[in-house]
Structure 1
């Protein structure tokens, strides 16, 4: 299975002594990556010597060599490979040792969620690609400084363009227009910003757009998910630490605040931080300096902080879960991103953009969505917002044979969405998706009836017996209506 690999996809090496864990990870990743597996560090080392690996997913506790010990060797021999630990144990010493000695990119705990694992590996591959690009740039810089300066300027301009507010996909008249307009106005000023919104609604994308529209655009944009780490690890990651300051601190570590000096720090899920960390963050924001763990003196930093959360921080302040003084430090300007269900008009253009990305990444000859697929997407409330929509579209593209994505390529939860709920909250035409803006009463009623018929058939995966029973029609009557409205299954 590991002998012959296609060259078009990045290669991920999974090292785990449990075959079931190997199989579960393979099934999660195999549509997007070449996945090779090993049951022990020795086998993994042999595979590393034979294959060009982008990312390693390594179990921590294995017979013989531990995951951290093996990844430390990988760091020395193959420094460009992104290293990820997966473990069922929350031993802080293992985590700290992994960060310091093995330079791990992420520490994932079992049981992991498929979507989170897939997104983590995608980000790791992207990071590896950027790291390779920067390595090439550094080599060229020593031989062709003027040319590379020009290229760097072009690349910086390209990045600015890629994260411009106009690149945030939305429909004309979208509620996001006002959000982006306000964000663009305040981007040029050094105000702290608090972005509110549900998970997957696009908070990071808005933060990046603000950074690249600001005078800090030429400096670093760094981010950290505050909910993903314990207080000790989060403090070390953001503020840094000195060698020997705690068990496992074998070398100095520069925190993200220092790396972003002159740029922007994006703190996602700030509402999930502990009271102890909140005190330390407040001190950094008040004094404009950080003191790495174990350091004897503080170091000045000049950063802009953009924080984000899915929680209602005002309620948390009143309940004593979040410090009031820190809240007012972060909320120099508060912005709320509406969830996707409150801006259904954005679903078609976002879906189309995601379709084009999926077609390129998965190399599928798909041209469009079938109208029934659009109707299904419009009738589902998308609790996971754009992230969930992306996953569904990539899944549908992978399952589709032909040039058109139909609704039946979506998962059952999307097909069972309530009809018209998204459209009823939109800014476009009220009523059911596809209802004409003008016409006689009968024409509008016919349009609504056609949507109800289509939605019911989609939920029953075009089982006409079940659909006709729910609608109170005979099979002959249902077929007659399908012919009348041009809905007969292709």
Structure 2
């Protein structure tokens, strides 16, 4: 007695009017682990599609009545994201090529190689597979936000899961946009500190004059405009995890102070005479070559070894291509909600273009490309042309007008205050605004002029 097909196995609809060929295909694909429904005409295939939605259609081009190309057109109209593979004799190759340009996933000529057919089916199913991340509350809930089926990422996550159980400092390496902050959050969620705060700070995005105060805090009167005590990020993360992103960009003077905090488990706010005990797990991240930075004298070796107890390296997106379709469809669902659009999926040829692109900007670039096509798409199925346009254009983050204005205002104010050494009167004059309005803008963006004065950083006592 033959075994019942696995209900979780991928389902295929096979269409061929040749009874022997249909029997051969059914046997081969069932043996390969698929659930196969076999029909002998396009009309029967369309009836079957009304009853059950397969994950892929495999059809001969030459069929009685409606042919395989017409069947593809009907499938595309009704189920635009359903992948279709055509089987064709040599005489119908031109028609099959044209169909591929219109969106058929691929075609194979008869007689076909069985392994090649199974390979193409597996590739099509991989590209069109739905996202199925770990559910909250499951043993894998800690990594729910990391969407992946890649073996490379599985290795990284297995190492992350092991290191999460300790309090060892972790250094995350990887190109920009590979997901280092997401991995840091996952490590925090898998640790005993999960109920406490996770705080991330980009050491390269905060002006040097502000960074010490942001990390360690300051007391009232420590510098001009320090009108109250300010709790730093180390204190805010007490009991939890602090991610020091782009640690390679930390100024040398602050590297010394950070090393002291890591050694003594205490912070001294700017202007304070007493230190405050903190219990924080440190995860640091960088895309820079810290070994080269140490050799150049830009990064302290003693701090490096303190931070680099365990190193995890995230692979670039080009080395985990099996994740591209998974991520793209996940982003599409998320961003369709943001833009209030009914977007079902990518056209098969659009998804193929995404999976073969270079992705120098990694997952962040993929997100931005998907955001661009979401913003511009006028049809439920994202077409190839829109993806090609997004890939050709510089990958930019799509912001609302209000978000872009907010970002520009803050960057503009920071630039003026740095230029004028924190002198509000000079900065307001350069901006052609009165001091009252300039102060209001500064307050809106949480800026204080004292942070930009050359003498605002107080030397700490040894």
* Length-normalised TM-score, structure 2: 0.54
Shift of 1:170: 0.9
Determine which of 233, 240, 243 is the counterpart of 2:220: 243
Structure 1 residues 416 and 265: alpha-carbon distance in aligned structure 2, compared to 1, 3 A threshold: closer
User: Deviation per CA, 1:108-128, whole angstroms, max 9, x where unpaired?
Assistant: xxxxxxxxxxxxxxxxxxxxx
Q: What is the alpha-carbon distance in structure 1 between the residues aligned to residue 137 and residue 198 of structure 2?
A: 12
Determine which of 339, 343, 347 is the counterpart of 1:362: 339
Determine which of 164, 173, 190 is the counterpart of 1:213: 190
Shift of 1:412: 3.6
Q: What is the alpha-carbon distance in structure 2 between the residues aligned to residue 229 and residue 161 of structure 1?
A: 37
Q: Look up the match of 2:405.
A: none
Does the alignment pair 1:340 with 2:317? yes
Shift of 1:379: 2.0
User: Deviation per CA, 1:298-331, whole angstroms, max 9, x where unpaired?
Assistant: 0000000000000011111122110000000000
User: Deviation per CA, 1:149-185, whole angstroms, max 9, x where unpaired?
Assistant: xxxxxxxx969989622541112x4310000000001
Q: Is the 8 A contact 1:163 1:205 kept in 2?
A: no
Q: Is the 8 A contact 2:218 2:232 kept in 1?
A: yes
| Partner SS state of residue 296, structure 1 | coil
Q: What is the alpha-carbon distance in structure 2 between the residues aligned to residue 397 and residue 327 of structure 1?
A: 42
Determine which of 179, 189, 195 is the counterpart of 2:156: 179
Q: Look up the match of 2:273.
A: 296
Q: What is the alpha-carbon distance in structure 2 between the residues aligned to residue 275 and residue 344 of structure 1?
A: 38
Shift of 1:231: 2.4
Q: What is the alpha-carbon distance in structure 2 between the residues aligned to residue 256 and residue 280 of structure 1?
A: 14
Does the alignment pair 1:169 with 2:147? yes
Q: Look up the match of 1:75.
A: none
Q: Look up the match of 2:292.
A: 315
Q: Is the 8 A contact 2:343 2:380 kept in 1?
A: yes
Aligned residues between the structures = 260
Structure 1 residues 163 and 268: alpha-carbon distance in aligned structure 2, compared to 1, 3 A threshold: farther
Does the alignment pair 1:381 with 2:358? yes
* Length-normalised TM-score, structure 1: 0.51
Structure 1 residues 238 and 161: alpha-carbon distance in aligned structure 2, compared to 1, 3 A threshold: farther
Structure 1 residues 158 and 248: alpha-carbon distance in aligned structure 2, compared to 1, 3 A threshold: farther
Determine which of 252, 258, 264 is the counterpart of 1:287: 264
CA RMSD in angstroms, aligned pairs only: 2.1
Q: What is the alpha-carbon distance in structure 1 between the residues aligned to residue 266 and residue 220 of structure 2?
A: 20
Structure 1 residues 294 and 415: alpha-carbon distance in aligned structure 2, compared to 1, 3 A threshold: closer
User: Deviation per CA, 1:374-423, whole angstroms, max 9, x where unpaired?
Assistant: 12112211111111111111111221122201121135462599xxxxxx
Q: How does 1:421-432 map to 2 (within 5 A)?
A: none
| Partner SS state of residue 204, structure 2 | helix
Instruction: Give the number of the structure whose alpha-carbon radius of gyration is greater.
Output: 2
Q: Is the 8 A contact 2:373 2:390 kept in 1?
A: no
Which runs of 5 or more residues in structure 1 are unaligned? Answer: 1-156, 418-490
User: Deviation per CA, 1:70-117, whole angstroms, max 9, x where unpaired?
Assistant: xxxxxxxxxxxxxxxxxxxxxxxxxxxxxxxxxxxxxxxxxxxxxxxx
| Partner SS state of residue 282, structure 2 | strand
Structure 1 residues 402 and 412: alpha-carbon distance in aligned structure 2, compared to 1, 3 A threshold: closer
User: Deviation per CA, 1:427-446, whole angstroms, max 9, x where unpaired?
Assistant: xxxxxxxxxxxxxxxxxxxx
Q: How does 1:8-27 map to 2 (within 5 A)?
A: none
Which runs of 5 or more residues in structure 2 are unaligned? Answer: 1-134, 395-462
| Partner SS state of residue 410, structure 1 | helix
Shift of 1:230: 2.4
Greater RCO, CA 8 A, separation 6+: 2
